[in-house]
Structure 1
Amino acid sequence: MKLSVSIPGLAIVLAMATQSVFAQVEAVGELDPIVVTATRTAQTDDETLASVTVIDRAEIERRQSRSMTDVLRGLPGVEVVTNGGLGHNSSVYLRGTRPDHSLLLIDGVRIGSASSGFLPWASIPLGQVERVEVVRGPSSSLYGSEAIGGVVQVFTRRGQGGPLTPRLLLGAGTYNTANAQFGLSAGTETAYGTGWFDAGLGFEQTQGFNVCDGQPRSVGGGGCGVYEFDDDGYSNGNGSLRAGWAFSDRLELDVNFLRSVGDLDYDGSLFYGNEQRQVLQVAGASLVAKPLDPWTLTLRAGRSWDDSEVFADGVFINRLDTRRDQLSWQNDIAFAPQQLATIGIDYLRDELSTPTAYNETSRETTGAFGQYLGRLLGQDLQLSLRHDDNDQYGGQTTGNALWGYELTHGLRLTAAYGTAFKAPTFNDLYYPGYGNPDLEPESSRSLELGVSGRHGWGDWALNAYQTDIDDLIAFDAATYSPMNIDRARIRGVELWGTAELAGWLLDANLTLLDPRNESEGPNDGNLLPRRAEQTLRLDADRQFGRIGIGGTLFAAGRRFDNDANTVRLDGYKLFDLRADYAFTDALRIEGRVENLFDEQYETAAFFNQPGRTFFVALRYAP
Structure 2
Amino acid sequence: MSKSLFLSAAAAALVLPALAHAEDVVVTVTREPLPVSRVGQAVDVITETDIRNYQSLDLTDLLARTTSLSLVSNGGPGASGSTSIRGAGADHTLYMIDGIALNDPSQVGGGVDAGLLSVGDAARIEVLRGPLSTLWGSGALGGVVSITTRQARAPLEGDLSLEGLDQYGSARLGLGGKSGGLNWRLFASAYNDRGVSAYDQGTERDGFTQTQLSGKASYAFDAHTTLNVLAAHTHNRTDTDGFVPPSYAFGDDGEYSKSDTTLGALGLTNTFAHGSQNLSVNLTETSRDLYDDTGASTFTGRGRLLAADYHLLYRLSDTTRFLAGAKWERDDMRTASTYSPLSAHDMTVSSLYGQVAQAIGAADLTVSARHDDASSFGGLDIAQASLSLPLSGGWRLHASAGQGIKIPSLYQLYGDYGTATLKPEKGLNIDGGADFTYSAGQVSLSLFTRTVRDLIDFDNSTFTYANIARAKAQGVELEWRQQVGDALALSGNASSLSTRNESAGYVGNHLARRPDFLANFNVEYAASQKIHLGGGIRLSGESFDNAANSTRLKGYAIADIRVRYAVNEHIELYGRLDNITDTRYETADGYGQPGRRLWLGVHTRMF
Question: Common fold, TM-score beyond 0.5?
Answer: yes
- Does residue 76 of the first structure (1) align with residue 53 of the second (2)? no
Q: CA RMSD in A?
A: 1.9
Q: Which residue of 2 aligns with 1:173?
A: 165
Aligned to 1:412: 396
| Residues 1:361 and 2:345 are matched in the alignment | yes
Which residue matches 2:240? 266
The one of 287, 293, 299 equivalent to 1:318 is 299
Q: What residue in structure 2 maps to residue 33 of structure 1? A: 25
The one-letter amino acid paired with 1:460 is V
SS at match of 2:115: helix
2:13 corresponds to = 18
Which residue among 119, 124, 130 is the counterpart of 1:137? 130
The correspondence for 1:241, drawn from 202, 212, 215, is 215
Cα deviations across residues 322-348 of structure 1 (Å, max 9, x unaligned)? 010011011111010031101110111
Distance in 1, matches of 2:219 and 2:116, equals 29
- Please give the per-residue CA displacement for 1:84-105, whole angstroms capped at 9, x wherever unaligned: 1111111100110111011111
**Kept after mapping to 1: 8 A contact 2:185/2:216:** yes
Aligned to 1:487: 470
Does residue 155 of structure 2 align to residue 163 of structure 1? yes
Q: Does 1:203 align with 2:184?
A: no
Q: Encode CA deviations 1:294-343: one digit per residue, 9 max, x unaligned.
A: 14111111001121112224333331010100110111110100311011
Q: Does 1:458 align with 2:453?
A: no
Offset of residue 5 of structure 1: 5.2
Return the match for 1:341 from 313, 317, 322. 322
Q: 1:579 aligns with which of 560, 563, 572?
A: 563
Structure 1 residue 18 displacement after superposition = 2.4
Instruction: Find the counterpart in structure 1 of residue 551 from structure 2.
Output: 567
Pick closer, same or farther for the CA change 1:354–1:486 going to 2, 3 Å: closer
Shift of 1:379: 2.1
**2:76 maps to amino acid:** G
Q: Could you tell me which residue of structure 1 aligns to residue 249 of structure 2? A: none
Once the two structures are TM-superposed, the CA of residue 598 in structure 1 deviates from its matched residue by: 0.6
- Counterparts of 1:29 and 1:509 in 2: how far apart (Å)? 16
Whichever residue aligns with residue 593 of structure 2, its letter is Q
**Deviations 1:135-182 (Å, cap 9, x if unpaired)?**
11111111111111011111122222x2211100011226x1011111
Q: CA deviation at 1:47?
A: 2.2
- Deviation, 1:63, is 1.2
1:50 equivalent in structure 2? 41
1:97 partnered with 2:88: yes
Q: Compare 452-461 and 178-187 and name the one that shifted more.
A: 452-461
In percent, how many aligned pairs have the same letter?
Answer: 28
Q: Which AA in structure 2 matches 1:206?
A: D
Indicate yes or no: 2:532 matched with 1:516: no
Alignment partner, residue 280 of structure 2: 300
One-letter amino acid matched to 1:579: V
Task: Give the Å deviation of 1:420.
Answer: 1.1
Select the residue among 520, 540, 546 that pairs with 2:523.
Answer: 540
Q: Confirm or deny: 8 A CA contact 2:525 2:532 kept in the other structure.
A: yes
Provide the residue aligned with 1:442 in structure 2: 425
Aligned 8 A contact 2:111 2:139 in 1: no
Deviation at 1:477, TM superposition (A): 1.7
Q: Which consecutive residues of structure 2, in runs of 5 or more, have no partner in the other structure?
A: 246-252
Amino acid of the structure 2 residue aligned with 1:465:
F
Name the amino acid aligned to 1:249: A
The separation in 2 between residues aligned to 1:358 and 1:311, in whole angstroms, is 17
Per the normalisation by structure 1, the TM-score is: 0.92
CA gap 1:358/1:493 in 2 versus in 1, 3 angstroms: farther
Contact 1:549 1:580 in 2 (8 A): yes
The 1:404/1:45 distance shift into structure 2, 3 A limit, reads: closer
Residue in structure 2 matched with residue 220 of structure 1 by the alignment:
none
Structure 1: how far apart are the matches of 2:3 and 2:442?
27
Structure 1's unaligned 5+ residue stretches are: 215-227
Aligned partner of residue 38 in structure 2, secondary structure: coil
1:338 to 1:179, Cα distance in 2 relative to 1, 3 A: same
Letter in 2 for 1:258: A
Residues 207 and 232 in structure 1, CA contact (< 8 A), matched pair in contact too: yes
Aligned pair count reads 591
CA contact (8 A) 2:38 2:388 kept: no
Distance 2:222 2:396 in 1: 38
1:17 Cα deviation after fit? 4.8
1:466-477 equivalences under 5 Å are: 466-477=449-460
Match for residue 231 of structure 2? 257
CA distance in 1, matches of 2:229, 2:439: 38
Q: Secondary structure at the match of 1:46?
A: helix
CA distance in 2, matches of 1:448, 1:188: 46
Letter in 1 for 2:217: A
